[in-house]
Amino acid sequence: MTGNVPLDELGEFLKKRRSELSPRTVGLPETGRPRRVAGLRREEVAQLASISTDYYTRLEQGRMQASAPVLDVLARVFHLDDDERGYLFQLAGKTTTRTRRRGRQTVQPQLQRVLDDLTATPAIVQGRRGDILAWNALAAALVTDFSRVPEKHRNYPRIIFTDPAMRTLYADWETSAHISVAQLRMEAAKYPEDPRLIELVGELSLSDKQFAQWWGDHRVAARTVGTKTLDHPVVGELVLDWDTLTANTDPDQHLTVWTAAPGSPTHERLRILASWAVDQDLSASPPPG
């Protein structure tokens, strides 16, 4: 490793993406010669990127840094999407800054008030690593009673992989879990020296084979928007749109809200769930201390 650049991670990412492409997908002619490994050869990547094979080999082996223009070309060669391209540049952009030691995240009181006022909309605030910093009562009713989860374990990826109830709550648990790993990968590129993130990844890699496999795939995803289907034990099927908003006071805090179109079955079931939450005395996260 040179400086603070996670060159081994960069090399592994390039290898994974190279293995997933064929000559046909990048416009190269098929030679008919048998291939010892799946995907493109290093010399083919170098040819497409207009760099020497030795230069590209050194990149994959973690023996040198890549310039921004070369990264830009490689992103096009590997057909990377916006998230993957951002991840590639993050991995290669750690030469000038060290990861600062960051303090405990807290939610601003005004953001907590927003959560509390969303009585008909489940919402949570996630911080670094997917830590759950705050939630409203309906989110507790929808997912789990976060207040019963020890604070040090109050982390969304951890809950998805370690709470058996999540595998029945999510109609497509595998896709949701896979996305959570990809989002965590994005976090790791931003904060590669975060000891709590390293500990979390190590714990989940040892306890869950799927997590270990997906972590090794180097897939990345940002928190944006999407749709999830839940099989809720109280109100049945819920088809929810989710959206993510970033806090201006802390770019590492993200408000996620789940909504449904007015008049839809899910919208009515959310109202029923909100009433159930009141009966169960489920509460929102405590006000910031």
pLDDT of 62-95, one tens digit each? 888 888 888 988 998 898 988 888 889 888 874 3
Sheet with 236-247, strands from edge to edge, namely: 132-135, 123-126, 250-259, 236-247, 225-232
Mean pLDDT of 244-259: 90
254 DSSP β-pair partners:
126, 246
Structure confidence at residue 2 (pLDDT): 43
Going by pLDDT thresholds of 50, 70 and 90, the confidence category of residue 109 is confident
129: left (phi over 0), alpha (psi -120 to 50) or beta: left
Structure confidence at residue 266 (pLDDT): 97
Going by pLDDT thresholds of 50, 70 and 90, the confidence category of residue 155 is very high
Q: What percent of the chain has pLDDT over 70?
A: 89
As given in the structure block, the two tokens for residue 59 are 């990149």
Using an 8 Å Cβ cutoff, are 18 and 40 in contact?
yes
Structure confidence at residue 99 (pLDDT): 39
pLDDT at 241 exceeding the cut of 80: yes
Structure confidence at residue 96 (pLDDT): 32
Cα distance between residue 18 and residue 36, in whole Å: 14
Q: What is the DSSP string of 44-102?
A: HHHHHHTS-HHHHHHHHTT-SPPPHHHHHHHHHHTT--HHHHHHHHHHH--SS-PPPP-
CB neighbours (10 Å) of residue 95? 10
> Phi and psi at residue 229, in whole multiples of 5°?
-110, 125
pLDDT of 156-205, one tens digit each? 999 999 999 999 999 999 999 999 999 999 998 888 888 899 999 999 99
pLDDT at 56 exceeding the cut of 90: yes
Structure confidence at residue 255 (pLDDT): 95
Mean pLDDT of 244-262: 91
Mean pLDDT of 117-133: 94
Structure confidence at residue 29 (pLDDT): 64
pLDDT of 4-44, one tens digit each? 456 788 999 999 998 888 877 777 666 666 666 668 888 88
